[in-house]
Structure 1
Amino acid sequence: MLGVRDDFRRRLLAIAALFCVLGFQYATWAARLPALKSDLDLSKAEVGLLLMAAGVGAAISFPLVAVLTRRLGSRRLAVVSGLFLGAVLLGLAAAPNYPLALAVMCLDGLAVGCLNVAMNAQGAALEARHDRTAMAKLHAVFSAGSLFAALLASGMNALTDSVAAHFGAAAAIIALLVVATRSHLLPDEAPAEQATGDPAGLQTAEDPAAADQATDEAATDQVDQPRRRLSLPATATLWMGGAMVFGTVTEGAMNDWSALYLEEVAGASAKVAPLGIAVVSVMMVAARLFADGWRARWGDGRVVRVGSVLAGTGLALALLAGGV
């Protein structure tokens, strides 16, 4: 990135590295679930709880990430959480028992939530600063990171059965990406209250009477505002929520369970099992690169409907046909 003179492209590459880190880290441990299941002697139900622990950590991160973003800024939060995700891989490889593995996965979800918010904040700030679109490409890089992780897992499986060696190499790659790009991320702007020392925007040192009047008016406005009543979400919102739930379940199933399915049900070798994630990631990269054009040509609703039918048909055909 040092040779890239264009500020937009340099910043874009740095933020893209964060998206790559998140996809890479996620697919790294997901591709080795069969080995983790064997090493910790887990049942399928316990594997499900292990995956749920990451979701619990992500849910916990939501109230914390706002506080952390205000205190650290999106740039520093992205760097810290990215490096922490590399450390999580080392902790997962070293976990001697199931309870500790659950704790590590909960921390993984926490760090994923922090990095997810921080890197998207960086992407949104980049678009606003340069008035250019970038988010679709950034999300494509996430899938490319997953593809890279799946290919690395397949290669490492061909060389060694050691999860620790694989996760150690992956953690080193994550650290290199984060350290190499941290100085090129967008700096955070100081909040208005820090810049002015007046969070309410009422400071008028030269006219105390005006300040008192402004304070009274602000208080009156708050009192006069009608209370909002709780209401049921609109039908369109419910449909969108359902689509997002099923889309998330499907994507999670392909990323989290495909390696186990290919190895234990379809009879794939340890080298081939991670390629399930690779195939999904390749298609997700392609879809995300062309998605904006499809949306402009056919509209969001048609893209959602056609994509959902295509995904359901593909899953049904794969299950009915069987085999690797």
Structure 2
Amino acid sequence: MRDRTAVFTVFALNGLALGSWASRTPALTEQVHASPGVFGLALLGASVGMLAAAAVSGRLIERAGARAVVAGSTAMVAVSLVLIGFAPTVPLLAGALLVIGASVGMLDVGMNVAGVAVERRLGKPVMSVFHAGFSFGALAGSLAAGLAAGHGWSPARHLTVAAVVAVLVLAVVIRAVPGIRPGHTEEPVVTPARAPIRRPVLWLLAAVALCSAIAEGASSDWSALLMTVERGVGQGAAALAFAGFQLVMALTRLAGPVAQRRFGPTRCLAAGATLAAAGLVAAAAIPVAAVGYAGFALAGAGLAASFPLALSLAGDAGKRGDGTGGEREIGFVTAVAYTGFLGGPPLIGGIAQATDYNVAFVFVALIAALILPAAVAARRSRRREEAAVMVGR
């Protein structure tokens, strides 16, 4: 098996796990007898786990290699799926969600480091294709969850089957995942050997990923409510806004390498930010349901490249002369971006409660538009770093 196929499969497994348990939240709420507010606090455990794990994953991958971290974290994801399915109380469910959040956070960094390694071997951008695998995996997990619920499967039965499938697929692909423990014998190629927190270019790339995470999370969590509350469509029809957003994002990511080779990463980020902001403003400002669906589809297309490109550029910023490196840089950008998934949804919910969903999504559009200046500033900061190193030599 080629490493490219293996990494794509790992991304899809991550998405499959998310789609599997997140789509069973109604059944899980009933299983632990939780009110919406209490269940929301339990869900917070997943976000906290993701953020904490992402912050330390870079150094762990430097020591053990991406392959070992991908294998261990995917196995942890499988175990935590079973724990979620069998959790009888809110505290136990919160603990299981904390474990799966930490596992997914570690897996995210590991699989993106492996993706950067494949990009370096191929000499062309393919990170957006890997992230398309995540999107398709999440869609597949959601569809499977719907089938399981429709046939009366309990979360325990369904998530146990999902865990077994994940482990079996992992066993098939793991040997082809790149990331044997690096030797780290050389310094970075064109960057000073500084901690990620001291490098402006990484903060700017983290800003790109953060804005993307907030906009993506808001579109995923609140698009259906905008359509039902502000546009008056039924719940079933409102769900199509999220489905369209995810589907268009996945398809656009498949076409990402062609656009990146032709226009470059900064232009792709700028164009995507403009498209996403325009789509979100249209969905919020024009009180027509059809425009809402089209707006969220445009937002999916515009945001498709932001997160994968930010991580790819972060990995490139840490590249060493021997072709390794970038683990800590990817971990840093991912950790900052996860604060968007953690704080974005309640922020948007607070704005919507104080005003309405239309105003809230105009705010989301402004956040998406900030990707453009952050991307341009990141490119300039990177060039200054390169120039400083060349002068030092």
User: Would you say same fold, with TM above 0.5?
Assistant: yes
Q: Distance in 2 between matches of 1:309 and 1:175?
A: 41
Matched, 1:16 2:8: yes
Q: Is there any run of 5+ residues in structure 1 with no aligned partner, and where?
A: 2-9, 194-198, 201-229
Matched, 1:66 2:58: yes
Are 1:53 and 1:102, in contact at CA under 8 Å, matched by a contact in 2?
Answer: yes
User: 1:216 aligns to what?
Assistant: none
Q: Distance in 2 between matches of 1:261 and 1:39?
A: 28
With over 3 angstroms needed to count, the CA separation of the structure-2 counterparts of 1:263 and 1:41, relative to structure 1, is: farther
Are 1:33 and 1:259, in contact at CA under 8 Å, matched by a contact in 2?
Answer: no
With over 3 angstroms needed to count, the CA separation of the structure-2 counterparts of 1:246 and 1:127, relative to structure 1, is: closer
With over 3 angstroms needed to count, the CA separation of the structure-2 counterparts of 1:316 and 1:173, relative to structure 1, is: farther
Amino acid at match of 1:54: A
> What does the per-residue CA deviation read over 1:228-272, in whole Å, with 9 as the maximum and x for residues that have no partner?
xx99x79xx78983x654532342245457799999997657xx9
Q: Distance in 2 between matches of 1:275 and 1:146?
A: 15
Q: 1:311 aligns with which of 280, 299, 324?
A: 280
Structure exhibiting the larger radius of gyration computed from Cα positions: 1
Q: Distance in 2 between matches of 1:72 and 1:266?
A: 51
Q: Distance in 2 between matches of 1:128 and 1:89?
A: 33
User: 2:177 aligns to what?
Assistant: 185
> What does the per-residue CA deviation read over 1:59-98, in whole Å, with 9 as the maximum and x for residues that have no partner?
2113431342233211011011011111111101111111
User: 1:301 aligns to what?
Assistant: 270
Q: Distance in 2 between matches of 1:268 and 1:244?
A: 30
The number of residues matched between the two structures is 278
Amino acid at match of 1:172: V
Q: Distance in 2 between matches of 1:128 and 1:238?
A: 22
Are 1:31 and 1:273, in contact at CA under 8 Å, matched by a contact in 2?
Answer: no
1:13 Cα offset (Å)? 0.6
Matches within 5 A, 1:64-103: 64-103=56-95
Amino acid at match of 1:14: A
Matches within 5 A, 1:46-57: 46-57=38-49
> What does the per-residue CA deviation read over 1:153-183, in whole Å, with 9 as the maximum and x for residues that have no partner?
1211221141112111211221121111011
1:293 Cα offset (Å)? 4.5
**3-state DSSP of counterpart to 2:255:** helix
User: 1:281 aligns to what?
Assistant: 246
Q: Distance in 2 between matches of 1:189 and 1:293?
A: 31
Q: 1:157 aligns with which of 149, 153, 177?
A: 149
Amino acid at match of 2:123: D
Are 1:86 and 1:171, in contact at CA under 8 Å, matched by a contact in 2?
Answer: yes
> What does the per-residue CA deviation read over 1:176-211, in whole Å, with 9 as the maximum and x for residues that have no partner?
211110111224143236xxxxx99xxxxxxxxxxx
TM-score (norm 2): 0.60
Which structure carries more relative contact order (alpha carbon 8 Å, separation 6+)?
A: 1
1:32 Cα offset (Å)? 1.1
Are 2:11 and 2:134, in contact at CA under 8 Å, matched by a contact in 1?
Answer: yes
Q: Distance in 2 between matches of 1:33 and 1:275?
A: 19
Question: What CA RMSD, in Å, does the superposition of the two structures yield over aligned residues?
Answer: 3.8
With over 3 angstroms needed to count, the CA separation of the structure-2 counterparts of 1:273 and 1:181, relative to structure 1, is: farther
Matched, 1:116 2:108: yes
Amino acid at match of 1:34: P
**3-state DSSP of counterpart to 1:192:** coil
> What does the per-residue CA deviation read over 1:17-43, in whole Å, with 9 as the maximum and x for residues that have no partner?
110111111111111111112222323
Q: Distance in 2 between matches of 1:266 and 1:142?
A: 29
Are 2:63 and 2:181, in contact at CA under 8 Å, matched by a contact in 1?
Answer: no
With over 3 angstroms needed to count, the CA separation of the structure-2 counterparts of 1:192 and 1:100, relative to structure 1, is: same
Q: Is there any run of 5+ residues in structure 2 with no aligned partner, and where?
A: 188-196, 294-393
